[in-house]
Amino acid sequence: MFILNKTIGEFSFKELKEMVKDISLTEIISNDEFTKFIDLLLNDSRKNFNDLGKKFLRDIDKYKKEQDRVSNMYSFDKSHGNYNIIAGVDEVGRGPLAGPIVSCAVVLDLNVDITDIILGIKDSKALSKEKREELSEIIKEKALSYSIAMCDNLEIDEKGIGVCNNKVFIEACKGLKHKPEFILSDGYPIRGIDIKNTGVVKGDTKSASIACASIVAKVFRDNLMEEYHNKYPMYYFNENAGYGTVKHVEAIKKHGPCEIHRLSFLKNIL
Residues flagged as binding site: 90-91, 186
Alpha-carbon Rg for the chain, nearest whole angstrom, is: 24
CA dihedral 74, 79, 83, 87 (to 10 degrees): -50
Kind and range of the H or E run holding 87: strand 86-92
Task: Write out the binding residues for a divalent metal cation.
Answer: 90-91, 186
Distance between CA atoms of 132 and 74, rounded to whole angstroms? 19
The residues that bridge with 92 in the sheet, in sequence order, are 102
What secondary structure does DSSP assign to 96-145, as a single string?
-SBS-EEEEEEE--TT--GGGS-TT-S-GGGS-HHHHHHHHHHHHHHSSE
Which residues, 6 or more positions from 111, have their beta carbon under 8 angstroms from its beta carbon? Answer: 78
Distance between CA atoms of 262 and 100, rounded to whole angstroms? 9
Q: How many Cβ atoms sit within 10 Å of the Cβ of residue 206? A: 18
Sign, CA torsion 160/162/163/169: positive
What secondary structure does DSSP assign to 159-227, as a single string?
H-HHHHHHHHHHHHHHT-SS--SEEEEESSPPSS-SSEEEEETTHHHH-HHHHHHHHHHHHHHHHHHHH
